[in-house]
Amino acid sequence: MSVSLRKTPAMLDVLHALETKDEVWGLKVVRDSGRPAGSVYPILSRLEAAGFVSSEWEPVPEGEGQGHPGPRRRYYRLTDEGAAFAATSLQAAHGAQRKPRLGFARGVGLA
């Protein structure tokens, strides 16, 4: 699928939260990424539309409770393509943090 995704700091945080686990429910991604739900869920939706994430609703056995309070959980996991995308994106972001910034050097003034 050809979907253009901007690699924002929020997306990188979501990818990192997904990369470290096999399967994780949405609110856990919110907590682990440190981003608000209003940012995380649209990112998860875009990643799923791009084929980088798959999701499914928690199964609930008939006649039984779900084993936890609150609504059913939606579980997310990186696809194989998504795992590769996450690894290269996070590695590139980590490498970019180590590079010196271009621009005005300290102590150099404009003449």
- Residue-wise pLDDT tens digits, 81-100: 999 999 999 988 877 665 44
List the structure tokens of 83. 């795992």
Contact, 66 vs 72, CB < 8 A? yes
pTM more than 0.85: no
Tell me: the pLDDT tens digits for 12-63? 999 999 998 889 999 999 999 999 999 999 999 999 999 999 999 988 766 6
What CA–CA distances, in Å, run from 23 to 40, 56, 76, 96, 98?
16, 10, 6, 28, 30
